[in-house]
Structure 1
Amino acid sequence: MRAVRLEAIGSIALREVDKPAPGPEDVLVRIEACGVCGTDRHLFHGEFPSKPPVTLGHEFCGIVEAVGEAVANIAIGDRVTGDPNISCGRCSQCRAGRVNLCSNLRAIGIHRDGGFADYVVMPQNQAFLLPADLKPTHGAFCEPLACCLHGIDLAAIRPGASVVVLGGGVIGLLVVQLAKLAGAATIILSTRQASRRALAEELGATATIDPSAADPIEAVTGKAGLVPGGVDVVFECAGVRDTVEQSMRMAKAGGTVIIVGVVPQGMKVAVEPFDLLFRELKVVGSFLNPFTHGRAARLIASGAIEIDKLISRQVSLEEAPQVISNPAAPGEVKVLVVPGKG
C-alpha cells in the first residue's frame, strides 16, 4: 500500500509499504480522508517530538475492512473516526483521569503509523462510529474539533460572555463556532487574512480585527475598543509569539486565557508575572482531546458544526508530501488528503 513517510526531520516521501494486519484488539481501516494539521508541518521541521521513520496523519476517517478476534461493537463496513492519542491507563496521570498527560502517551501519526496512507491499524478503543451517510471529509474533522472542545471545556464559557479568538486557521474557526454554541454574546476573531475574517463572520463571529491594520489590543480593550477593559476569555489559536503575548493583555482582570495553538518547541515569549498576579489572570494550556473525541463525533454527525466552508482543497497521497513540507497557502484553512483521489 501507499504511505506518506516522515523518514527523518526535513525528509518526507510517498512510499510503498506492507499493508498492516490488525492484532486481536485492533481494527484495520481503509482511509477515506485525512486532514493536514499544522502539527504535521511542525513534525516535518523537527519542532514537535516524533519517532521517524513514521507514517504521518492523525486526523482521519475511514471504513473498517478487518477486525481482530477480540473486537466487539465494531464491524466490517462501519465508518469510523480515530482518536489518535493512546494512553497507557496505568500511570498516575491516567489514574487521575488526565489521559492527555499520560507518561507513556503514544499518538497515531506521530509515534506510530498514521492516516496519510491507504490503510491504518488502530486499537478498537480509539475508534468511534460515524453515520454511514456522513461525508467522509466531515469525519476527518473529528480530531481537531475534539481538541477545540477540550479548550472550550477549560474556558467554562458562560452565556453572555465575551470571547476573543486569536488566529483564523481551522482551530480558530472551530472555536468561533463552539463559543457561539456555548452562549458567548461577543466573539471577536483576529487574523491578518481578509478571507478568514469574512469566513469567521459567516460562522458566528460578531466582529473581526486585522492586526496588521490596527493595534489588536487597543482595538479590543481600549476606551473606544470592542470590549473596553478586556474580555472574559481569550483563545490563542495561532501558536505564534505575537498572539501568545497579546492574549494575556486582552483578557480582563480575573479573565481566562486558553493556549490552544501549538507553538514550536523551544519558542520563548515575554510574560510580565506582576500583571498575571495583579489582575489574577488564569492562563491554561489546552493539550489534546481527553474524553472529547466521542462528543466531537456526535457534534459532527449532528450537523451543528459547519465543515464544508473550512475545506480549502482535497489532494491525493501523491501530492501530500509537497503540501506538508511547505507553508499553508494564503487564506487556506484545511487541506484534506484523500487516498482515493485520482
Structure 2
Amino acid sequence: MRAGRLLSVGRFAVLDTPEPEPEPGEVLVRVAHAGICGTDRHLLKGEFPCRPPVTLGHEFSGEVVALGEGVSSHAIGDRVACDPNIACGGCAACLMGRVNLCERLVAVGVGRDGGFGELCAFPAHRALHLPAGLSLRDAALAEPLACCLHAIDIAAIQPGERVLVLGGGVIGLLCVQLARLAGGEVMLATRSPHRRRIAEDLGAETVADAAEARAAWPKGADCVLECAGVAETAREAPRLAARGGRAVILGVMPAGETVSWEPFDWLFREVSLRTAFLNPFTQGRALALLASGAVRAGPLVTREIGLDELPAVLSEVPGPSEVKVLVTA
C-alpha cells in the first residue's frame, strides 16, 4: 500500500509499504479522509516529540475492513473515526482520570503508524462508531473538535460572557462555534479576510485583528482562547483578558519556544491562565455535535488532495485562506 512516512526530521515521503495486519484487539481501517494538522508540520520540523520512521496522520475516518483476534465491538463495514490517543490506564495520571496526561501515552500517527496511508491498524477501543447520517468527510474533523471541546470545558464559558478567539485556523473556527453554543458573545481575531468571512458565517458577532479587538472591548474579554499556536497570540492572551477573566492556551507552539509574560499583571488583575491538551473523553461528544449539525465542518475544509500531493503540501506554509486540508482516498 501507499503511505506518507516521516523518515526523519525534515524527511517525509509517500512510499510503498507492507499492508498492516491488525493485532489482537485491533481493527484494520481503510482510510477515507485524513486531515493535515499543524502538529504534523511540527513533527516534520522536529518541533514535537515523535519516533520516526512512522506514518503520520492522527485525524482520520474510514471503514473497518478486518478484525484482530478477540474484537467483538466492531464488524466489517463499520464506519469509524480514530481517537488517536492511547493511554496506558495504569499510571498516576490515568488513575486520576486524566488520560491525556498519561506518562506512557502513545498517539496513532505520532508514536505508531497513522492515517496518512491507505490502511491503518489501531486498537478497536480507539475506533469510534459514527452516528447515523454523519459523513466520513465530516468525521475526519472529530479529533480537532474534541480537543476544542476539552478547552471549552476548561474555559467554563457562561451565557452572556464575552469570548475572544485568537487565531482563525481550524481550531479557532471550531472554538467560535463551541463558544456560541455555550452562550458567549464571540469575537474572532485574525488577519485573514477569508477566515473572517468564514467566522461570520459560523456565528461570530465580531471579527477583527488583535488591535481592533482591544479597541472594541477595551476592558477585555471574560475568556480568551488562544488557538493560533504562535508566540504573539500566546503572549497577548492574558493581556486581552478582563479583570478577573481567564485565558486558555490550546494552540501548539514548537517545543522549546518561549514567550515573555508579566506575572504581576495577572496578579493585579487576577487573570487565570490555563492550558488544554488533547481530547480526554470528548471525541464521542464531538461526533454527536457534528452529526446533529450543531457544529459545521463543511465550511472549514478548504482543499482536498491525493496522497501523492501530501509531501509538498505538508512542507509548505499554509496560506491565509487555508483552514483544513484533507487527504482523500
Q: Could you say whether these structures have the same fold, taking a TM-score greater than 0.5 normalized by the shorter chain as the test?
A: yes
Match for residue 284 of structure 1 among 255, 268, 274: 274
SS at match of 2:150: helix
Return the alpha-carbon distance in structure 1 between the equivalents of residues 16 and 132 of structure 2.
30
Q: Residue deviations 1:303-334, cap 9 Å, x none?
A: 21111111111100101111111111231000
Contact 2:6 2:55 in 1 (8 A): yes
The residue that corresponds to 2:161 in the other structure is: 161
Return the alpha-carbon distance in structure 2 between the equivalents of residues 132 and 177 of structure 1.
22
Return the alpha-carbon distance in structure 2 between the equivalents of residues 97 and 36 of structure 1.
29
TM-score by length of 2: 0.98
Structure 1 residue 190 and structure 2 residue 189: aligned?
A: yes
The residue that corresponds to 1:130 in the other structure is: 130
Q: Which amino acid aligns with 1:144?
A: P
In structure 1, stretches of 5+ residues that fail to align are none
SS at match of 2:247: strand
SS at match of 2:266: helix
Q: 1:220 Cα shift?
A: 3.3
Contact 2:132 2:291 in 1 (8 A): no
Q: Which amino acid aligns with 1:43?
A: L
Match for residue 259 of structure 2 among 237, 259, 269: 269
Q: Residue deviations 1:141-167, cap 9 Å, x none?
A: 000000000000000000111000000
The residue that corresponds to 2:71 in the other structure is: 71
TM-score by length of 1: 0.94
Return the alpha-carbon distance in structure 2 between the equivalents of residues 132 and 120 of structure 1.
23
Return the alpha-carbon distance in structure 1 between the equivalents of residues 290 and 178 of structure 2.
12
Q: 1:290 Cα shift?
A: 0.5
Contact 1:27 1:124 in 2 (8 A): yes
- Count, aligned residues: 329
How much identity, in percent, do the aligned residues show?
53
The residue that corresponds to 1:220 in the other structure is: 213
Return the alpha-carbon distance in structure 1 between the equivalents of residues 133 and 306 of structure 2.
22
Q: 1:135 Cα shift?
A: 2.0
Match for residue 297 of structure 2 among 291, 307, 310: 307
SS at match of 1:235: strand
Q: 1:277 Cα shift?
A: 1.2
Q: Residue deviations 1:47-80, cap 9 Å, x none?
A: 1110000000000000000112311221110100
Q: 1:226 Cα shift?
A: 2.4
Contact 2:194 2:320 in 1 (8 A): no
The residue that corresponds to 1:19 in the other structure is: 19
Q: Which amino acid aligns with 2:208?
A: I
Q: Which amino acid aligns with 2:186?
A: I
In structure 2, stretches of 5+ residues that fail to align are none
Return the alpha-carbon distance in structure 2 between the equivalents of residues 38 and 180 of structure 1.
24
Q: 1:132 Cα shift?
A: 5.6
Return the alpha-carbon distance in structure 2 between the equivalents of residues 193 and 272 of structure 1.
29
SS at match of 2:61: strand
Structure 1 residue 333 and structure 2 residue 323: aligned?
A: yes
The residue that corresponds to 1:203 in the other structure is: 202
Return the alpha-carbon distance in structure 1 between the equivalents of residues 61 and 4 of structure 2.
16
The residue that corresponds to 1:4 in the other structure is: 4
Contact 1:78 1:132 in 2 (8 A): no
Return the alpha-carbon distance in structure 2 between the equivalents of residues 207 and 270 of structure 1.
28
Contact 1:79 1:132 in 2 (8 A): no
The residue that corresponds to 1:235 in the other structure is: 225
Computed over aligned residues only, the root mean square deviation of the Cα atoms, in angstroms, reads 1.0
Return the alpha-carbon distance in structure 2 between the equivalents of residues 146 and 229 of structure 1.
31
Return the alpha-carbon distance in structure 1 between the equivalents of residues 62 and 248 of structure 2.
31
Contact 1:28 1:65 in 2 (8 A): yes
Q: Which amino acid aligns with 2:130?
A: L
Q: Residue deviations 1:6-53, cap 9 Å, x none?
A: 000000000111111111200000000000000000100111110000
Return the alpha-carbon distance in structure 2 between the equivalents of residues 300 and 207 of structure 1.
24
Q: 1:133 Cα shift?
A: 4.2
The residue that corresponds to 1:316 in the other structure is: 306
Q: 1:246 Cα shift?
A: 1.1
Correspondence 1:65-104 to 2 at 5 A: 65-104=65-104
Q: Which amino acid aligns with 1:26?
A: E
Q: Residue deviations 1:275-326, cap 9 Å, x none?
A: 1111111111100000101111111111211111111111001011111111
Return the alpha-carbon distance in structure 1 between the equivalents of residues 69 and 53 of structure 2.
29
SS at match of 1:57: coil
Return the alpha-carbon distance in structure 1 between the equivalents of residues 312 and 131 of structure 2.
32
Q: Which amino acid aligns with 2:255?
A: Q
The residue that corresponds to 1:150 in the other structure is: 150
